Amino acid sequence: MKPAKAALTGLIALVTALAAGHLVAAFVGLSASPYLAVGNAAIDLTPSWLKDFAITTFGTADKLVLLICMGVVLVGIGIGAGLASRNGPAPGTLVAVLLGFVGVAAVVTRPDVGQLAVLAPVASTAAGVYAFRYLHREAEESESRRGFLITGGLAVFAGVAGQLFGSRTDVEGSRQAVGDLTPKVRAPEIPLNADFVKDGTPSFITSSKDFYRIDTALSVPRIRAEEWALRVHGMVERPMVLTFEEIRSRDLVEETVTLTCVSNEVGGPYISTANFVGVRIGDVLREAGVKAGADQLFSTSDDGFTAGSPLDYVLENGLIAIGMNGEPLPAEHGFPARLVVPGLYGYVSATKWVTDLNVTTFAKDQGYWIPRGWATRAPIKVSSRIDRPARMGRVQGRVVIAGTAWAQPKGVAKVEVRVDGGPWREAELGADVSDTTWRMWRVELDLGKGSHAVECRATDKSGFTQDQARLDPVPDGATGWHSVTFTVD
């Protein structure tokens, strides 16, 4: 067999296998698609340092980069299997079976799929083996490309059909059907002087589309509110299951909350603020009746992610949120419901697509990130960053330095700035909206022409000033003073 035909045989067989698995997964759970299941398994098995590198380097595109890299590797395997099978189909058949075993292993270890999910990688394996052997025989017996075209066409059709069927859950229709969410207790209005957008800070309220997103889901869970339920159990007197309507019918409260990702480097972008609507976690847990000895609220997402929050803290803080910025939660931010806990980094509190609340102990259960080297308890650290001038930017005339500080849940008391290692100067602060939100700041300076370096530091309302020592995010959040070098023309 000619090398070109051999390579094409392996490549089309690979595409056929993936497409068949994706099509079957559309009916047994899209997470069972071998491509996605292996990707999710890769995320789970990736060491923390590599995940941190991916987030720092690629930001919210880290999962797209993973899928592209997987695709490149699989294309290489498919072509290699074809080339190795020029004298017979056995090597390619073996590769197809081995890939099938990898797919099966990835699916059966996923916590977010049912027993029937294994049908997807099984179908993928069968389709891959059949397609490879069929195309190999066609290539040896005929110079016609008809078999390749038919098989390739069927593979494309199956893949597209799988994506269409897998996306058929009308999440957006369910969101629209929720209608208005009217809180009994509204958050205070945001004062006009809460931010300094004209000077370079973010707007005080982050739009839902711009709100940062860091999670472990390769594909966004698609859940209709009508089919969703939240189980509350564990060390409680009265276990309960709450539907979306039962939560909605309670006294809803609205709170303005800043959420922060522990992966943020010093001066990093993974922080946003929104108005969230929901019911207080503490009200639900007290209704269930927490038993003595419990110290952890262990939350589980529909996609299998887990987080452990200090029970005493969430009894007094946080929401089971169903709304964000005046509308039901967007699908990518947790619709139908998520947890929002001010003052704790997201990896121990901000579970999206939440379906299970287990009142337990830290000794018994560990959240997703804890065995991966992150701290069990993760209060947000006092931090600040410079938003303008930009790093290595150029400024003309009088210099305006502006930025953002946060210290949830204690609140920001002051921000100080110094230039070129000189004396600290206190910055003007934006309005103090609440202790659970960020605070904007600005300062105007007369500086001579040339290069300058500016640093900032924040102090919370207890009098604690953020640490100068530069530490990486692992294991419980970065520390250090943010600095920017710029030039005055």
pLDDT tens digits for range 187-238? 999 999 999 999 999 999 999 999 999 887 777 888 999 999 999 999 999 9
Q: Of 166, 201, 220, which closes a domain? A: 166
Q: Answer whether residue 13 is part of any domain.
A: yes
Same-domain check for residues 132 and 210: no
pLDDT value for 29: 78
Same-domain check for residues 184 and 296: yes
Residue 464 exposed, middle or buried by CB count within 10 Å (0-12, 13-18, 19+)? middle
Q: Which pLDDT tens digit goes with each residue over 383-425?
A: 999 999 999 999 988 899 999 999 999 999 999 999 999 999 9
Phi, psi of 422, rounded to the nearest 5 degrees: -80, -160
Residue 44 exposed, middle or buried by CB count within 10 Å (0-12, 13-18, 19+)? middle
Distance CA 162, CA 159 (A): 5
Distance CA 266, CA 14 (A): 43
Distance CA 17, CA 287 (A): 50
CA distances from 27 to 39, 227, 337 (A): 19, 17, 24
Q: Answer whether residue 377 is part of any domain.
A: no
pLDDT value for 108: 84
Same-domain check for residues 350 and 420: no
Q: Answer whether residue 172 is part of any domain.
A: no
Place of tokens 């603020």: 273
Q: Answer whether residue 378 is part of any domain.
A: no
Distance CA 429, CA 414 (A): 7
Q: Answer whether residue 231 is part of any domain.
A: yes
Same-domain check for residues 326 and 248: yes
pLDDT value for 39: 82
Same-domain check for residues 356 and 402: no
Cis status of the peptide bond prior to 336, with omega within 30 of 0: yes
Same-domain check for residues 109 and 204: no
Domain residues for 87?
3-166
Phi, psi of 314, rounded to the nearest 5 degrees: -75, -20
Distance CA 309, CA 367 (A): 9
pLDDT value for 116: 83
Q: Of 317, 350, 372, which closes a domain? A: 372
Q: Are 374 and 48 in contact (CB under 8 A)?
A: yes
Q: What is the distance between the terminal CA atoms of the chain, rounded to a whole angstrom?
A: 68
Beta strands in 96-239 (DSSP E): 229-234
> Could you tell me the sign of the dihedral formed by the alpha carbons of 415, 419, 424, 427, in that order?
negative
pLDDT value for 437: 97
Same-domain check for residues 10 and 154: yes
Same-domain check for residues 270 and 347: yes
Q: Which pLDDT tens digit goes with each residue over 349-375?
A: 999 999 999 999 999 999 999 998 899
Both tokens of 82, joined, read 């074809």
Same-domain check for residues 391 and 367: no
Taken as a whole, the chain contains a residue count of: 489
Q: Answer whether residue 351 is part of any domain.
A: yes
Q: Answer whether residue 171 is part of any domain.
A: no
Q: Return the CATH number at 287.
A: 3.90.420.10
- In this structure, the number of other CB atoms found within 10 A of the CB of residue 489 comes to 8
Q: Answer whether residue 294 is part of any domain.
A: yes
Same-domain check for residues 215 and 132: no
Q: Of 302, 337, 372, which closes a domain? A: 372
CA distances from 393 to 119, 338, 425, 453, 456 (A): 55, 39, 22, 11, 17
pLDDT mean across residues, the chain: 90
pLDDT value for 215: 81
Q: Return the CATH number at 484.
A: 2.60.40.650
pLDDT value for 397: 80
Q: Are 350 and 341 in contact (CB under 8 A)?
A: yes
CA dihedral 283, 287, 288, 290 (to 10 degrees): 70
Number of independent structural domains in the chain: 3
Query: pLDDT tens track of the chain, all 489 residues?
Result: 788 888 988 898 888 988 888 888 888 877 788 888 888 787 777 776 776 677 767 776 777 787 788 889 889 999 999 999 998 999 999 999 999 999 898 888 877 667 788 898 899 999 989 888 988 887 777 665 666 667 767 666 766 666 666 556 689 999 999 999 999 999 999 999 999 999 999 999 999 999 999 887 777 888 999 999 999 999 999 999 999 999 999 999 999 999 999 999 999 999 999 999 999 999 999 999 999 999 999 999 998 899 999 999 999 999 999 999 999 999 999 999 999 999 999 999 999 999 999 999 999 999 999 998 899 989 999 999 999 999 999 998 889 999 999 999 999 999 999 999 999 999 999 999 999 999 999 999 999 999 999 999 999 999 999 999 999 998 999 999 999 999 998
Question: Strand, coil or helix: what is 43?
Answer: helix
Distance CA 192, CA 179 (A): 28
Same-domain check for residues 162 and 183: no
Same-domain check for residues 368 and 392: no
